[in-house]
Every structure is written in C-alpha cells, then in structure tokens.
C-alpha cells in the first residue's frame, strides 16, 4: 500500500496533536501533583580524585548531623492532596530544622491555607521561614505573616539571623528579604552577631547568591533558595524559561563561583498551573557539621 503526501501530512499532524495532548494532560493533571523527596549530604570533603559532588563522609566522632527539610514555593490556594503528602513526608523525615524559603502563597486568598499548612507542620526543634516576591506582591502585610508564623512555632526571618544549636555545635541561619521586591540588608541581618563556625543563608531568589556581599567575618557555608520551580516547564529537563531573579540557576546544586547553593524545584506553580519535566520537590539535606 502506497501513502501519498496528503496521507503523510495527516499522519504527522495526528502524531503532533497526540503528543501535545499527552503533554498537556501530564502537565496539567499528573506532574504538578507528584512529589519527589530528594535526599542530599553536605559538609564532607571532596576526594582527591573526584569532583565536588564526590564526597567522603566524616565519621560520627568527627561530625554531628543537622537534618534540614527544605520546603519552597508552596503557592498555596488550599491544603490539598499534594500539600498533605508534603506534610506527611515532613513528619516522616523528623528534621532538626525545617525551613520554608518563600512564595508560600500567591495572593491574599492563600493566607488561610498558609495558616492551615503551618499548623499541620511537625513540631521539630527549629522552624524558620523567609518571604519571597509573591508574599510581598500579595498585599498581606509582613507583620501579619510574621504573626501567623510565630503563632505556629515558626520564626519569620527578614534580614535577621538566629542561632540553631545541635549538641555542642551551632549554626547561624540568616534569612534575607526578597531580592527582587524586598530590601535585603546584610548590615541589619548581622547586627550584634558574633562570628559562628557554620552559617546557613536563606535567600528566595538564587541570583541573590551572586549579590550577597556578606561581611568577611560572616561567610556563608550553604545557601538555600527556590523561586525557579526548576523552570516549571522543562521538557526533557531543559527549562524553557525561568523568572527574573533566577540568573543562571535552575535547580539542584551549584558549587562554583561562590558559596555552595541548593535550588529547590519547589512545590506549587505560579502564573499557569502546569509543570512539565519538573516534578515538585521536598529536599532533605543532612549537613554533617565538623
């Protein structure tokens, strides 16, 4: 049987339409509701032969493990099945430190769901949060957001530092105002702070890593960010677009040209409720403190 040109064009169009339909169904109905709980180790020394991702873990006598659960970009409209899975995973991980790195809501209508989410979080030793660009544009006053967080055991850090104790070790955690729509202020963030052996920085936009300008006595050991959603639409893992404030960063680890940075793909979506090639992520980072 011979196919003419018209038959081939029709067949090709059908394949394209079928592929687009499949991608659309996946992007709208499947991927946005999946959850990847990623596990990472940090704080060891690279081997002499491997790259920066190849690590030799210290012995228990040499280090203490600080388990960090990193939640980002919830963009809450409700506490639905995905958010319930996030909460279940947080309870299972039993972290020492729970951090939420901004964009917890997209608009004022997310204020109630945010309160519900905070109330359902596990009662872990330390719970911290920062704001992102969407909190600022939502119109919900930062002081009201701070009150919600404090009511449920969270400390909302806006250009402020706190110390987290783990046995005989301590970590300074600094949370900055949003890089795009806020006013990051290192002077205020370190007011009255003495140097500390370990320093974790929470900065919603990963591009902030390149602009930190931290005082030399307060270098960052690790920066945690979100904001990018891993591109949100990233067919084959290639992000087609990232929001302003992302810089060259998309997702995962960056250990070149500055302090080590981990960028979460986040949980929710913004602008359009679609995720393609970028599964929502809850990161668990075991930091081995020397």
The whole-angstrom distance between residue 107's C-alpha and the CA centroid of its chain comes to 19
**73, part of any domain:** yes
Residue 59 has pLDDT above 70, yes or no: no
Residues 6+ apart with CB under 8 A from 147: none
Contact by Cβ (8 Å): 17, 25: no
182-237 pLDDT, tens digit each: 999 999 999 999 999 999 999 999 999 999 999 999 999 999 999 999 999 999 88
Residue 73 has pLDDT above 50, yes or no: yes
**1, part of any domain:** no
**40, part of any domain:** yes
**26, part of any domain:** no
**7, part of any domain:** no
**105, part of any domain:** yes
**15, part of any domain:** no
- Tell me the residue range of the domain where 86 lies: 34-289
If you average pLDDT over residues 142-170, what whole number do you get?
Answer: 96
From CA 121, how far away is CA 101, in angstroms rounded? 15
Q: Which strands sit side by side in the sheet containing 281-289, from one edge to the other?
A: 36-42, 281-289, 64-71, 97-101, 126-130, 155-156
**81, part of any domain:** yes
Residue 30 pLDDT level (bands cut at 50, 70, 90): confident
Residue 115 pLDDT level (bands cut at 50, 70, 90): very high
171-185 pLDDT, tens digit each: 999 999 999 999 999
- pLDDT score, position 290: 87
Supply the CATH number for residue 173's domain: 3.60.21.10
Least confident of 3-17, 136-150, 153-167: 3-17
- pLDDT score, position 62: 65
Contact by Cβ (8 Å): 142, 158: yes
Q: At what angle do helices 142-151 and 111-120 cross, to 10 degrees?
A: 30
Residues 6+ apart with CB under 8 A from 101: 70, 71, 72, 73, 129, 130, 132, 202, 203, 204, 224, 225, 226, 264
**CA 163 → CA 185, 191, 219, distances in Å?**
18, 13, 15
Domain count, the chain: 1
Please tell me the chain's helix, strand, coil percentages from 3-state DSSP, rounded to the nearest 5.
30, 25, 45
Per-residue DSSP letters for 92-134? HH--SEEEEES--BSSGGGHHHHHHHHHHS---SEEEEE--HH
Contact by Cβ (8 Å): 100, 154: yes
Predicted TM-score (pTM) of the model is: 0.87
């Amino acid at each position: 049987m011979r196919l003419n040109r018209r038959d081939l064009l029709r067949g090709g169009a059908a394949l394209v339409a079928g592929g687009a339909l499949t991608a659309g169904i996946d992007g709208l109905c499947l991927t946005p509701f999946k959850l990847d709980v990623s596990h990472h180790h940090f704080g060891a020394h690279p081997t002499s032969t491997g790259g920066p991702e190849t690590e030799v873990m210290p012995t228990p006598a040499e280090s203490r493990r600080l388990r960090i659960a990193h939640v980002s970009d919830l963009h809450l409209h409700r506490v639905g099945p995905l958010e319930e899975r996030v909460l279940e995973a947080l309870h299972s991980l039993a972290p020492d430190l729970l951090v939420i790195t901004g964009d917890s809501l997209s608009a004022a209508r997310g204020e109630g769901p945010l309160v519900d989410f905070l109330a359902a979080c596990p009662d872990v030793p330390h719970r911290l949060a920062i704001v992102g660009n969407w909190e600022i544009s939502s119109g919900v006053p930062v002081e009201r957001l701070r009150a919600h967080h404090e009511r449920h055991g969270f400390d909302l850090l806006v250009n402020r530092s706190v110390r987290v104790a783990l046995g005989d070790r301590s970590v300074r955690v600094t949370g900055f105002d949003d890089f795009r729509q806020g006013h990051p202020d290192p002077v205020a963030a370190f007011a009255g702070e003495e140097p500390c052996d370990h320093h974790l920085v929470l900065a919603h936009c990963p591009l902030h890593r390149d602009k930190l300008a931290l005082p030399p006595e307060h270098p960052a050991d690790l920066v945690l960010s979100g904001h990018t959603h891993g591109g949100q639409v990233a067919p084959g893992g290639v992000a087609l677009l990232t929001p302003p404030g992302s810089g060259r960063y998309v997702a995962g680890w960056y250990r070149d040209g500055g302090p080590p940075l981990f960028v979460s793909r986040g949980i929710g979506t913004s602008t359009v409720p679609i995720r393609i090639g970028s599964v929502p992520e809850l990161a668990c980072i075991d930091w081995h403190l020397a």
